[in-house]
C-alpha cells in the first residue's frame, strides 16, 4: 500500500487491556513504509518516501528523539523510497533497501552514528531493481533480500560489514519466485518464509548452513492462498507463523513443527471476519500479543495469544480516538512497553 502522508505514533502502557494512551512523536512529510528498532532498543530507524528517505532516532524510555537523516557519506539517499530497514542481530549493521540507487546498502552502527559502508551486489553486479524486504538469520551469518530484482530473492553471507552473494533462492519445479514482499527466518534459523504478490504467494524453505532449499508452498489445508501476502512473522519460539495480506481472510495463523507449516485458522475480531488488506504484523517479544495493521477494520488491532488462540482485545488508539487511515508498518519495542505505527493516518 502506498501512502500520501504519514504520522508516527507511540502507544504507551501496553498490556492485556490494550493501549491506555498515545503520543505523536514525529510528523513526516510523506510515506512511511518501514520501521526497525535496534536489538538493544536504543535506536529507531524509519524509512519511506519522506524527505531524505530514512531517519535515525534515539530511544530512551518512551522518549523518541530525532538524531539525523541517514546518508551515504555526505550525500542523501538517492531514489523515491526506502521499503525495508533491518538491524543485524548484534546491532552493529543496518541494511536499507528500496527504490534507491544501489537498491540495498549496508551501514555500520556505532552508538548513534550510522555510517555508509557499501551497496549490496551480486559479485559486483547491481541488483538491477527494487528491494522490498530483508532479514538477517538469527546468528547474523546470512542476509536474505527480496524484491522485484532478477531472481526475486537472494541469500548473502555476512562477515562483519562484508556482504557476499551466495545464490538466488528458487522454488523446485517453478524456478523464479514471485515478487517478494516479506522475508522471515524462524527464531532458530532453520526455516525461511518468503511471501509476495503473485504465484503461490508464500513458500517455506529449509536453511542448513548457507543452503536454502524449497520445501513447500504454504496453503490453508491444501487450498492455495488467493491474494498478495504483505507480511510474514514468526512468534518468539517459532511455533506459530502469521501471514497477512489481501488473500481471503486477510490474516491467517499457522502452526510450525520443524519444517511443517499447518494452517490453524483465520484471525478475526470476536469471530467476525476481517474486511480488508493486512499490511503489517508484529508479535511481542514473549509471543503473548500480536499487533496487526492494515487498510480497514479500524486500521490497527491488538490480540492476546494463548497457545494457538488469537483473541481480539482492542483497536489500537487512545483518548477515545481511532486511527483514520492505513497502517503499513507496526513494531513492538524490545521490552513491549510501546509500539510504533507508521501509515496514512493523520494527527490527533
Per-residue pLDDT tens over the stretch 127-145: 989 999 999 999 999 999 9
- Distance from chain centroid for Cα 31: 16
CA-to-CA distance for 280 and 316, rounded, in angstroms?
13
Between the alpha carbon of residue 342 and those of residues 266, 328, 339, the distances in Å are 24, 6, 10
pLDDT band at 244 (very low <50, low <70, confident <90, very high): very high
For β-strands 6-12 and 54-60, DSSP reports them as unpaired
The owner of cell 562483519 is 160
pLDDT band at 29 (very low <50, low <70, confident <90, very high): low
Give CA angle at 118 (34, 66), nearest 5°.
40
* 61 vs 177 pLDDT, higher one: 61
pLDDT of 149 higher than 70: yes
Q: How many residues does the chain have?
A: 348
Q: Which three cell numbers stand for residue 133?
A: 524486504
* 25 vs 212 pLDDT, higher one: 212
pLDDT of 27 higher than 70: no
From the list 67, 44, 113, 79, the residue with the least C-alpha distance to 342 is 44
- Do the Cβ atoms of 339 and 280 come closer than 8 Å? no
CA-to-CA distance for 140 and 95, rounded, in angstroms?
12
CA-to-CA distance for 298 and 296, rounded, in angstroms?
5
Of all residues in the chain, the percent with pLDDT exceeding 70 is 87
State mean pLDDT over 191-214: 92
CA-to-CA distance for 280 and 178, rounded, in angstroms?
19
pLDDT of 11 higher than 50: no
Amino acid at each position: 500500500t502506498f501512502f500520501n502522508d504519514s504520522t508516527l505514533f507511540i502507544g504507551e502502557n501496553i498490556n492485556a487491556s490494550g493501549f491506555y494512551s498515545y503520543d505523536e512523536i514525529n510528523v513526516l512529510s510523506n510515506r512511511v513504509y518501514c520501521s526497525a528498532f535496534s536489538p538493544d532498543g536504543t535506536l529507531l530507524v524509519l524509512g519511506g518516501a519522506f524527505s531524505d528517505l530514512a531517519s535515525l532516532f534515539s530511544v530512551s524510555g518512551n522518549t523518541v528523539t530525532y538524531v539525523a537523516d541517514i546518508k551515504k557519506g555526505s550525500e542523501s539517499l538517492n531514489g523515491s523510497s526506502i521499503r525495508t530497514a533491518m538491524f543485524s542481530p548484534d546491532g552493529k549493521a543496518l541494511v536499507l533497501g528500496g527504490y534507491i540507487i544501489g537498491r540495498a546498502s549496508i551501514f555500520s552502527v556505532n552508538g548513534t552514528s550510522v555510517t555508509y559502508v557499501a551497496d549490496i551486489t551480486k559479485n559486483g553486479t547491481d541488483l538491477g531493481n527494487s528491494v522490498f524486504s530483508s532479514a538477517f538469520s538469527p546468528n547474523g551469518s546470512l542476509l536474505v533480500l527480496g524484491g522485484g530484482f532478477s531472481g526475486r530473492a537472494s541469500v548473502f553471507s555476512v562477515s562483519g560489514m562484508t556482504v557476499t552473494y551466495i545464490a538466488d533462492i528458487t522454488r523446485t519445479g517453478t524456478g523464479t519466485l514471485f515478487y517478494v514482499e516479506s522475508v522471515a527466518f524462524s527464531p532458530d534459523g532453520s526455516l525461511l518464509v518468503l511471501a509476495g504478490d503473485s504465484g503461490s504467494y508464500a513458500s517455506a524453505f529449509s536453511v542448513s548452513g548457507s543452503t536454502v532449499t524449497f520445501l513447500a508452498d504454504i496453503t490453508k489445508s491444501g487450498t492455495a492462498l488467493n491474494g498478495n501476502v504483505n507480511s510474514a512473522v514468526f512468534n518468539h519460539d517459532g511455533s506459530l507463523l502469521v501471514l497477512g495480506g489481501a488473500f481471503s481472510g486477510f490474516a491467517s495463523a499457522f502452526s510450525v513443527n520443524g519444517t511443517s507449516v499447518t494452517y490453524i485458522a483465520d484471525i478475526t475480531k470476536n469471530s467476525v471476519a476481517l474486511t480488508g488488506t493486512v499490511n503489517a504484523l508484529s508479535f511481542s517479544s514473549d509471543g503473548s500479543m500480536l499487533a496487526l495493521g492494515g487498510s480497514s477494520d479500524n486500521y490497527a488491532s491488538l490480540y492476546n495469544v494463548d497457545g494457538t488462540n488469537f483473541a481480539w482485545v482492542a483497536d489500537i488508539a487512545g483518548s477515545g480516538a481511532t486511527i483514520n487511515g492505513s497502517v503499513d508498518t507496526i513494531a513492538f519495542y524490545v521490552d513491549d512497553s510501546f509500539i510504533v505505527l507508521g501509515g496514512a493516518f493523520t494527527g490527533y
